[in-house]
Copies of this chain bind each other. A is one copy, B any other.
Amino acid sequence: MRTLAAALLFAAIALPAQAQVKPDDAIRYRQSAFQVLVWNWAPMGAMVRGRVPFDAKAFTQGATRVQQISAMLLEGFPAGTEKGSLQTAAKPEIWRNQADFQKKMKDFEAAVGQLVTVARSGDEAAMKAQFAKTSESCKACHDRYKAD
């Protein structure tokens, strides 16, 4: 955590937007972004499946946060970050099929954007339907580009 503190206060880590990104920094970043996404996504899934009571406000907040994170994902896969010293589930196919990978990420962003719109309408059935559609866009990308 010393590294994190140093980076936070003195900007000592690699500079994603301006310089060559170290593979481990990108791997750590993208895995972190997905962790934050899942933290928000999982409780929404539990509501959709009826395991916990449906809470439209919590669902809308979750959708909004997933949308925010969705816009931060693509930058976690810059060229040259296929492999590092950290384990990664990102398949090399990502960098061989950039156009398709980016399209799938944009499809996910669009699906989540629609989920936020639907959530704000307050229509529970529509929220559940769009949640399922958004899950499919997760899966479409994972099936092709995620090893596990």
Residues of A in contact, count (CB < 8 Å): 54
Interface secondary structure of A, over-half rule:
helix
- Is A36 touching B36 in the complex (CB atoms < 8 A)? yes
Interface assignment of A95: CB less than 8 Å from any CB of chain B:
no
Interface assignment of A34: CB less than 8 Å from any CB of chain B:
yes
**A39 and B68 alpha carbons, distance in the complex (Å):** 15
Interface assignment of A35: CB less than 8 Å from any CB of chain B:
yes
Known: A11-B49, A16-B43, A46-B15. A146 touches B32 (CB 8 A): no
Chain A residues near B (Cβ < 8 Å):
1-2, 4-5, 7-19, 25, 28-29, 31-39, 41-46, 48-49, 51-52, 55, 58, 65, 68-69, 72, 87, 89, 135, 138-139, 142, 146-148
